[in-house]
Amino acid sequence: MVQYPSIDWLAISPLVILLGGTLLVLVVGALTKVWPRGLYAVSTAALSAAALVVEMVLWNRVGHEGPVSIINDALAIDRFTLFVWIGVTIATGLVSLSTADYLRREDLEGPETYTMYVCAAIGAMIMAASNDMVVLFLGLETLSIALYVLAASHRRRVDSQESGLKYFVLGGFASAFFLYGIALVYGAVGTTNIARAGQLLSQQVFVDGDDALLLAGVALLMVGLAFKVAAVPFHFWTPDVYQGAPTPSTSFMASVGKFAAFAAMLRVLTTALGARADDWRPVVWVLAVASVVVGSVLAVVQSDVKRMLAYSSIGHAGFILIGVEAAGHAGDQDGIPSSLLYLLLYSVLVIGTFTVVTLVTRSGDRASDIGSFRGLGKERPLLALAMTVFLLAQAGMPVTSGFIAKFSVIKAAADNESYAVAIIAMVASVVSAFLYLRIMISMWMSDAESGDEAREKVAVPWTAGVVVLASVVFTLVAGVFPGWLIDATRDALVVVR
Amino acid sequence: MELVVFVIAAAMVIVGALGVILRPNPVHAALSLVLTLFGVAVHFVALEAHFLAAVQVIVYAGAIVVLFLFVIMLLGVDRTEDISIEPFKVQRPMALVVGVGVIGLVTAAVSSSRDAIGRGNGLEIPTVTGDNDSNVRQIARSVFGDYVVAFELTSVLLVVAVVGTVMLTRRIKTGKGES
């Protein structure tokens, strides 16, 4: 007789709601005529909102009953998981809304793009919740394959097809590394369960190079995860893919993709390999420093805004890696909370930024060079103002959420006496401020050039307007009153072990 | 006896794998894959995983490779790709060095810690009984018990694959946008 595992339906209901809802939208959408303007997006956002409500209920439940691992220890439901779930769900809703008029403008209207968003979000949520490497790998693949398709989804732009193929080939390669890493770690530890691997490794004593297999596995796992978070030197795909992909898909990659990959990285490194932190911490240190420096310096020399933001996202990944590095010090209480905080704040920021970029690239999604922003301050002052807020926040300006994010990771590094990385990060942050200033100058201070009148006007549909407004409000509120968010991230320290 | 079977099967796997990447004709490459998959099936038999061996032959060597051949035929066999052009001259020698290096490191890691594999840790090797159905039963227990989340997730992955394929291959309307 097969022993069926007991299933905690409430705990997996956010996933069930999202999957069931999006399949319903897909099937009904395929059988009916094109829905009225924006309805696909609004229904997807409504699904996200429904999932968000359940996640809030779960957040309270975990607060009362403590973290649990469900369905034969495959998924871990703790506040770490739920924090990422909440972030991913919010990001999915926002990106769906910002996609609504984009698809209409580019004549690509249909429900499939939203299904891809939601399926990718489910993959991301599984990655964050996975308590087993096999489940983690499946979540990673669900997320990645949906992202490859999204990158290639603009059928009329060759750039989009090219970026999809590049991402697919390199991403498949990285997944293979990751899978091999899982196999070697399994060989060394004897289990794919993350919490159990952590327990075993904390008791096991390796003698005489017996741990070479484990270390090789950890190295391969790091390659796979560093590729997904776009850390230097595994970042080469990022500029091309970010530039070529449809702009809303780029914002989805930069928010949900990073959130999931970092969540997986944090769980694997701190829970499964926490006992071996001295082995992986130097690797993360190098990745962090290389990403901050290369991301900031190369961002400055770009002339295409989407490429600039791609390099800046590499730099931001470096900052989050500083938090991951801090989490590798014994007895650290700041690393995981600061990384999670950075991820949430950056996701909202990057969605806001790319929503403005989506509007500015105009029909055809091609005008992403910095000249396209010329005169935006005169033409659409409110939109330019919102973009200014996002750029200042990304630069780490006080009163915005970006300052809180950068401050928290650098504080975590300094508390663990990683002064070198803290100083390098601050210098790089100053360098990258130059890039954000360049876009601002182009928006507000550049003189109009001949031919500017002939350009298409920048239209602001209400769905994109809502996303921009929500992102601005969140950026400022989180920048002025960060206390409640910091408290929430502190709760995420109690995980399934 | 076991060693002989292992060596022959391993040789099949490696020769097939080399064929996949070295044969200039894509049909030959796809057929080399059959050899590899068949070799893996022999390994499964040697490990007494008869069910997996059967599935390996039926699904991979049968269905998947036929699918590959379909795609190759659809896209045209006779198209050749000129891979002699090299934008970065150092790329290939470097790829060779790094590739050999990675293989060397992993081999060294496995051989130096082979004694540690499965020793005194969580590894539970299920006992093989003489029962012919035990294989199938064990797999069913794993799939619908221990790994039920992974099993169900695979269906989400398949949904993504199907919807993605439709998205990327469907004919686009020639509307206001240029093609």
Per-residue pLDDT tens digits of chain A, which is 497 residues long: 566 778 888 889 999 999 999 999 999 988 888 888 888 899 999 999 999 999 999 998 888 888 888 888 889 998 899 999 999 999 999 999 999 888 888 888 888 899 999 999 999 999 999 999 999 999 999 999 999 999 998 888 888 889 999 999 999 999 999 999 999 888 888 888 898 888 888 887 776 667 888 888 899 999 999 999 999 889 889 999 999 999 999 999 999 999 999 999 999 999 888 888 888 999 999 999 999 999 998 988 888 889 999 999 999 999 999 999 998 888 788 889 999 999 999 999 999 999 999 988 888 777 788 888 888 888 888 989 999 999 999 988 888 898 999 999 999 988 888 888 889 999 998 888 888 888 888 888 877 777 777 778 888 888 899 999 999 999 999 999 988 888 888 888 878 77
Residue B97 lies in a domain: no
Residue A71's pLDDT is what?
85
Element (H, E) at A69: strand A68-70
Any B CB within 8 A of A273 CB: no
In angstroms, the CA A397 to CA A391 distance is 9
Nearest C-alpha of chain B: how many angstroms from A382?
29
Any A CB within 8 A of B143 CB: no
Interface with A, mutate which of B110, B141, B160 (most A CBs under 10 A) = B160
Residue B125's pLDDT is what?
57
Alpha helix ranges (H) inside A78-207: 79-105, 112-129, 133-151, 158-189, 194-203
- State pLDDT tens for residues B109-120: 888 877 666 554
Q: Binning pLDDT at 50, 70 and 90, where does residue B173 land?
A: low
Residue B77's pLDDT is what?
62
Interface with A, mutate which of B137, B149, B157, B179 (most A CBs under 10 A) = B149
Question: Using the beta-carbon criterion (under 8 Å), do B164 and A215 form an inter-chain contact?
Answer: no
Residue B29 lies in a domain: yes
Question: Using the beta-carbon criterion (under 8 Å), do A189 and B122 form an inter-chain contact?
Answer: yes
Residue A72's pLDDT is what?
82
Question: Using the beta-carbon criterion (under 8 Å), do A145 and B157 form an inter-chain contact?
Answer: yes
Residue B178's pLDDT is what?
41
Residue A189 lies in a domain: yes
Element (H, E) at A68: strand A68-70
In angstroms, the CA A328 to CA A14 distance is 31
Residue B104 lies in a domain: no
Residue A102 lies in a domain: yes
Last residue of a domain, one of B65, B81, B97: B81
Residues of B in contact with A209 (CB under 8 A): 112-113
**Chain B residue with minimum CA distance to A125:** B153
Mean pLDDT, chain B, whole residue set: 80
Interface with B, mutate which of A119, A211, A221, A240 (most B CBs under 10 A) = A119
Q: Which residues pair with A70 in a beta bridge?
A: A75
DSSP calls for A16-55: HHHHHHHHHHHHHHHHSSPPSTTHHHHHHHHHHHHHHHHH
Please name which of A228, A316, A236 lies closest in space to residue A264, comparing C-alpha atoms: A228
Residue B6 lies in a domain: yes
Residue B177's pLDDT is what?
42
Residue A2 lies in a domain: no
DSSP calls for A392-455: HHHHT-TTSHHHHHHHHHHHHHHHTT-HHHHHHHHHHHHHHHHHHHHHHHHHHTPPP-TTTTTS
Residue B41 has pLDDT above 50, yes or no: yes
Residue B176's pLDDT is what?
45
**Chain A residue with minimum CA distance to B105:** A216
Range of the domain at A300: 9-491
In angstroms, the CA A93 to CA A483 distance is 24
Query: Are A491 and A391 a contacting pair, CB within 8 Å?
Result: no
| Distances in whole angstroms, Cα of residue A460 to Cα of each of A188, A381, A413, B75 | 55, 12, 41, 42
**Chain A residue with minimum CA distance to B116:** A210
**Chain B residue with minimum CA distance to A150:** B164
Residues of A in contact with B122 (CB under 8 A): 189-191, 193, 196-197, 200
Nearest to A26 among B114, B163, B168 (CB): B163
Residue B35 lies in a domain: yes
Nearest C-alpha of chain A: how many angstroms from B61?
21
Complex ipTM over 0.90: no
Question: Using the beta-carbon criterion (under 8 Å), do B148 and A113 form an inter-chain contact?
Answer: no
Please name which of A95, A92, A68, A94 lies closest in space to residue A80, comparing C-alpha atoms: A68
What is the 8-class DSSP label of residue A234?
S
Query: Are A151 and A120 a contacting pair, CB within 8 Å?
Result: no
In degrees, rounded to 5, the angle at the alpha carbon of residue A13 between the alpha carbons of residues A11 and A17 is 160
In angstroms, the CA A199 to CA A271 distance is 9
Residues of A in contact with B167 (CB under 8 A): 112-113, 116, 149, 153
Residue A308: what are its φ and ψ, rounded to 5°?
Answer: -55, -50
Residue B123 has pLDDT above 60, yes or no: no
Residue B109 lies in a domain: no
Residue A3 lies in a domain: no
Question: Using the beta-carbon criterion (under 8 Å), do A142 and B160 form an inter-chain contact?
Answer: yes
Q: What is the CATH number of the domain that holds B1?
A: 1.20.120.1200
> Domains in chain B: how many in total?
2
Residue B147 lies in a domain: yes
Residue A89's pLDDT is what?
95
Residues of B in contact with A116 (CB under 8 A): 160, 163-164, 167
Q: Return the residue matching tokens 């915005």.
A: A400
> Domains in chain A: how many in total?
1
Nearest to A209 among B112, B153, B168 (CB): B112
In angstroms, the CA A198 to CA A190 distance is 11
Residues of B in contact with A120 (CB under 8 A): 160
What is the 8-class DSSP label of residue A34?
P
Residue A497 lies in a domain: no
Last residue of a domain, one of B48, B81, B114: B81
Range of the domain at B164: 142-171
Last residue of a domain, one of B28, B46, B81: B81
Residue B83's pLDDT is what?
67
Question: Using the beta-carbon criterion (under 8 Å), do A213 and B117 form an inter-chain contact?
Answer: yes
> Structure tokens of B107?
């081999």
* Letter string b/e over residues A113-123, b meaning 16 or more CB atoms within 10 A of that residue's CB: bbbbbbbbbbb
Residue B63 has pLDDT above 50, yes or no: yes
